[in-house]
Amino acid sequence: MEDFNRRWLAAWTAKDVEALLGFYTPDTLYFDQQTAAGIQGHQALGAYLTGLFGMTPPMRYEAEEIWEIRGGFCGRWYCTIGDAPTPALRGFDLVLMDGDRIARNEVYVHTLGAAA
């Protein structure tokens, strides 16, 4: 799971929509603060990510810790925006797997103060 998480976060950092879709099942369910009702499937997720990445500055995601759970894992990460010296966001993912791909991803994020 640690290697999967590392590669997945690297694809987020690269803003590589095609690579990211390869981590998700074709009928995946994805939830974050902008999509609280959820979006389903590669087509909807790809469109969402393309729009999101077009509106955001460079962002670097780094894993803090993961916990394996039945059917997947939970992961906590930091995100540094642009050339900032410290992370601006701390996030938490609930990831449920179907085989070696993500079937459900719930993302929870909060902003950090000056010190992470």
pLDDT band for position 114 (50/70/90)? low
Q: Which amino acid is at 43?
A: Q
Over 70: is that where the pLDDT of 115 sits? no
CB-CB contact of 45 with 30 (8 Å): yes
Q: Show the tokens assigned to 38.
A: 């959820």
**In this predicted model, what pLDDT tens digit does every residue of 49-60 receive, in sequence order?**
999 999 999 999
pLDDT of residue 108: 97
- In the chain, where are the structural domains located? 2-108
Query: SS3 for 9?
Result: helix
What's the first-to-final CA gap in the chain, in angstroms? 25
Burial tier of 13 (Cβ tally within 10 Å: 0-12, 13-18, 19+): middle
Domain 2-108: give its CATH code. 3.10.450.50
pLDDT > 80? residue 113: no
CA atoms within 13 A on the CB side of 52: 17
